[in-house]
Homo-oligomer: A and B are copies of this chain.
Amino acid sequence: MPLVVKAVGNMSQQISFKELLKVFGLGAVALVLGVEWFDWLMRRLRVRGPLKEVLFFPSTQTCLEHLFTPNSSFPCRCPLPHGKETSFSRLLRHLLSARASLDLCVFSFSHMELCRTILLLHERGVTVRVVTDRDYMTITGSQIGTLRRAGICVRHEMSTAVHMHHKFAIVDGKKLINGSLNWTVTAVQSNKENIMVTEEPELVRPYRLEFQKLWEANDPAKHTHQVTNGR
């Protein structure tokens, strides 16, 4: 330390008041720029936070063919409006972004385009797991049978006294889609509904754990075993 003090002492003898003023002036400029940069960084970090998107329904009906066949060289000639982004097309885009897994927990599932989305993900090799309600999986128009016939693992709430009323999906274990929207045509095209899409880990994690809990609790093998043993 005394060596450093000596060095600084010598330096101060060599630098005139005018020179010191310039050094301090430059220091002040550097400080102001530093504060500005720190503030900019903070704002960037806030803006670049995890994905948060809110979608409201009913959604306008538009052609969604480009989402299912993006490489097609033939333009779709259906009478629906083309090239318009809607709440529903945003939902499909989020689902189709799955690369490894899709965990879906939905009370009622009868929407054919949502079914087509899930089948497409399954064909692409995405691991799809579905938990649904016991009563609602057998209603007219339910797509649960179609999913099962395609080889997708579907489990249903085992208790007869309880409804599995969730409507959430987890894409690749990190993107949560959650809200009031059941996967039905009425919900998408008529009702006042909402979903929020987020990658906020504090929100995604509890839903991932809840899905795993429901998946294991509704394992049919486990239930058959329990019945066999009279437990």
The chain A residues found within 8 Å of chain B, CB to CB, are 3-4, 6-7, 10-11, 14-16, 18-19, 22-23, 26, 42, 45, 52, 54, 56, 58, 107, 157, 161-168, 178-181, 186-187, 190-194, 196, 198, 200, 202-203, 206-207, 210, 214
Cβ A162 vs Cβ B192 within 8 A: yes
CB-defined contacts of A214 to chain B, threshold 8 Å: 192
Cβ A191 vs Cβ B203 within 8 A: no
- At the interface, is chain A mostly helix, strand, loop or mixed? mixed
CB closest residue in chain B, given A165: B191
- With contacts A7-B11, A14-B7, A178-B196 known, is A203 near B54, CB below 8 A? yes
Sample of 7 more A-B contacts, CB < 8 Å, known A6-B19, A164-B192, A165-B193: A7-B11, A7-B14, A107-B180, A168-B180, A178-B196, A196-B203, A198-B203
